[in-house]
Amino acid sequence: NAGVMQNPRHLVRRRGQEARLRCSPMKGHSHVYWYRQLPEEGLKFMVYLQKENIIDESGMPKERFSAEFPKEGPSILRIQQVVRGDSAAYFCASSPGGKAAYEQYFGPGTRLTVT
């Protein structure tokens, strides 16, 4: 059973460009979380999605950031008009529904560098 997959692993963007980060959850998992880790800090929650639904986006900046988890395909975190402050590692985690939902399995992360 393949783990959580994220791509790309590294992404370099110039200021003003768009960044698209993809996350494929573990097989059978229908819950996806996105977290951001700034250098020398812990992770900060951004958004929680289930298939075709955003459950909680309270941690996501109101502008430039959006996320989706379509019925088919990976979850996408999209950052428009990137700025230097967006440079960070972005982690995706997935979990199954029901009682086992307490455990989140993490992908390897995407390191975004904005130049």
Partner 1 sequence: AQTVTQSQPEMSVQEAETVTLSCTYDTSESDYYLFWYKQPPSRQMILVIRQEAYKQQNATENRFSVNFQKAAKSFSLKISDSQLGDAAMYFCAYRSAGGSNYQLIWGAGTKLIIKP
Nearest CB to partner 1, comparing residues 72 and 98: 98
Q: How far is the CB of 13 from partner 1 (least distance, A)?
A: 19
Q: How far is the CB of 74 from partner 1 (least distance, A)?
A: 18
Q: Classify residue 49 as exposed, middle or buried by CB count within 10 Å of its CB (0-12, 13-18, 19+).
A: buried
Which residue intervals of the chain are DSSP H helices?
Answer: none
Give yes or no for a contact between 90 and 105, defined as CB atoms under 8 angstroms apart: no
Q: How far is the CB of 71 from partner 1 (least distance, A)?
A: 20
Nearest CB to partner 1, comparing residues 17 and 106: 106
Q: CA–CA distance from 53 to each of 7, 24, 50, 70, 88 (Å)?
A: 22, 16, 5, 8, 25
Nearest CB to partner 1, comparing residues 20 and 111: 111
Nearest CB to partner 1, comparing residues 45 and 113: 45
Q: How far is the CB of 9 from partner 1 (least distance, A)?
A: 9
Interface residues with partner 1 (CB under 8 A) are 31, 33, 35, 41-45, 48, 55-56, 59, 89, 91, 93, 95, 101-106, 108-109, 111
Six-digit token pair at 52?
């075709």
Q: What angle do CA 85, 79, 58 make, to 5 degrees?
A: 85
